[in-house]
Structure 1
């Protein structure tokens, strides 16, 4: 038996094959066979379209909104879905805006669609929202099988409020830009209200552009706040009064931008207008150095150098500029150079050149080549800067080299025993002996200078006369004390030389002093590790500090406290003396006692850290030098804070109005506790949403939930989807954060119109087309593509 294949989703089917006796045969006992045909076709895809925007009407008869349940392909079985209305994201509300619906709708076998009607209530009331929406949702029924996949289970009905339009505001004509001469006086801009006059509305004009507003500046203006009463469609005017000054300032602009209207009105096109004020003043010209480039190079003995500044391109008005000096040369009498007046001015009509004179001091210092830079400042009187606005003077040195200073030999480091007496370091001058030079030695290292300390030194200020190339020495006298202090170092660094000399290599030297005293030992906690964990009611805990590896000399250390527990009477703990000392030859242990306060505060486990400070007397820190005491709480729990739903995230349409998040206190309610909600995300508080109090408090024993309400602002801006992130802060009173401690609200923008989606029919005549159809249907289901105003094709 050949079975005919098709693409129709249907129930499994059977066929019967009967055997009957003929004239020459005898019937047996098994005369019938049953063949079962198993359906292998995919379920059809079911969706519902959007309807609207449609005017609500004035009543009393309702306005029908007809939605269509559609299949992408006919089914061999009835397709039944439960259709309901209403969602938290809706702005339309049943029964005042529409009649709620909850019913089963069946698309009979072989058919592609079935309509379902929602009756919208018409009225003559001017409502706060010009557009309202409601949801129509598809779901599988608990009893009747669906027999389809829900590709698009949500339809949106959009209701237009036809009871009054506050209109739109725009400049007229379009474009509203104007260009006038500076002498034009007053220029008027018109703002019109079109498309409706329902209600009182207003807007405020924002000014911009290159011109400066204000009396005595470029222009003044009439009131920038425009108001329309209910029913008022008159044109409002804005006056710009131009100040016809005598400043050569070039063309300038004033931009006028309409602000977001109140009263539900919207902005039309154009919402901005530009006034161009054409200058009627003569050009003040530009200032620059000449020639171009204006840089000059001279030897130090040249005497004076002159730089010229010219005015070109106009001579209208009085102008001026100031020349700023820079470069490596030093200005001033007795230094590298002096200069003439650096403030340059031109009278109205004056186009003559101005000069700046640099007088060079031909000194005897070996200082290398030096530079002077001259930079023209921003001109006054409407003039501008030309090119070049900077000039550089290079002064070539004509003096002999002063040489370089360095330690010798290289490297110059030395190592001696503490009882060696003295160590000598040599500083040489090489590469030139011109002029008197000097340097100062800077000391460093772990050793301490001074009589009675680790070492003393000879004079650290070294000088050379003109022509002197002899070496200089620095002597370190080491103090052979009896302190067990370990090896120590002295570093010697040459300072920047005077007289034009430079530093050579090496410019530093290190003296290492090897200790010859008995060891003072090391200090550490014992045992290793020394950490302890106790209950809050234990009473006292003792930590031991030992001295090992030597007992030479008196030593000491101070124990520093840390951790989450608070020291002090009436707080978490008190402690014995934290200053520990050992006499010369003393190797006995020292102890630190922590006395714990067994309070009744539900504060969670706490810690005390004890850190040994750097020992005195030449001793060192051993390991471990840190010990931690963990105090386990024995008080009732203060609870755990988290968002009640997991996950707590929500997605709403911008027109939802308000939405709330719930915060719960679990696993304990001992003590008064609180937390603070922190806000983040791409949505802006005050512009995109507002919120209730973000500080949440619970009294002792209170385990009730708290809510935070967000009010979403349904603006008309096309801004894309936005988010608000709510994060619970660290609780006080011993409570802790649970999970989830953050929640995200996604606000779906309802101002953009992306247009309807369409589907394309694919011929079912070949294997590849059927595979392509399956892929397209899978992609369609994943994307949850909305069918706007039609079913599947």
Structure 2
């Protein structure tokens, strides 16, 4: 802004029209339009040729230059921030005329601007013009299409900006931000039950790391009737031995524990609910230091077909055989089907403790039907602790049959008799053990050996000290005589 033809300032302390700048309202308005707000400073720089002398505040407070701004409440267009689910289809913003009325109708142009959300993949780029009547309080809507992709994403956002107005007195500096919540992601959140058959389940950190000192309980249930939640782990990183993910087959942590997982014991690639609700419950705990990337697991729902259940058993080593019973639970099948099974070593070994066995069971397709098979148990004559092996159901002629259940057989050793209060045993060939059995005997013997070694060491040290004691006394006596002589 030009400030020309300034008369001479010949009088000390002169204050008047000749010392006033031109009207700066256009400059001030431009600064306000760019986002200036009350309480902030403005700086004006005066440059040019010629010379004038003016008193500053530091020289004389009465002569300090003063900036005088006269203003009136201007018409302002505001727009709200919104949050929208990715699957909602549209995001609706509301623009409101606030402040002073205007003289007549005016228009405001707008456009969408990318943030972390990108037009074309997350939303549809949109521009347009709003028409306002000029009366304060009138609202107008802006609708933007939201695109539902299948990518697992964090919260994303874009904004609406006003780009022009037909009335230059209208302030259009406000912007509206839309936050898009991904519907393909479930985050483990304390106390929450989610329902979904798609997307992915993440730890509390989402695509980042989880936090320290967490203790979260979360339940995931199918959103489709007669289905079971199925998780396929794509990645897993939980501090070994200190942070733990517990998975339960049901709606609470009172349900059957499927497993306790960390980097030292990662989860299987797939976990499927087998309970009546079809839900899985998760508990995650972390300690005070060291975090990891957590996990990402794809969510799907497995149609609830026939389900095979097999019971755990306990058998005496001398029984000769272990009998397993498999039951068809859940809905009826479409017809007869077969199920294959196999034995798998645990602490018991096939060949020495039991006979490796495979086979096929035939079911009639009706829920409640049961079939049994036997596994030969070998009596080896060796004193042992209890040992186990597992039965796995490996395949079925009907692909809808759920074979997730397994059975553990515990073989109780019959080659040692453990002393038990009030019990009478008749035998002529067994080994008699104290109440602790093998483990206590081993521990007791080890403790006795260690005690004996420590006792021998103490005895040797004592003998050595005793042999040196007369020499030490003689040395101290001679030193005492030497001091007396001096």
Normalised by the length of structure 1, the TM-score is 0.22
Give the structure with the higher percent strand: 1
Looking at CA atoms only, which structure, 1 or 2, has the larger radius of gyration?
Answer: 1
**Structure with more of its chain in helix, by fraction:** 2
Normalising by structure 2, report the TM-score. Answer: 0.32
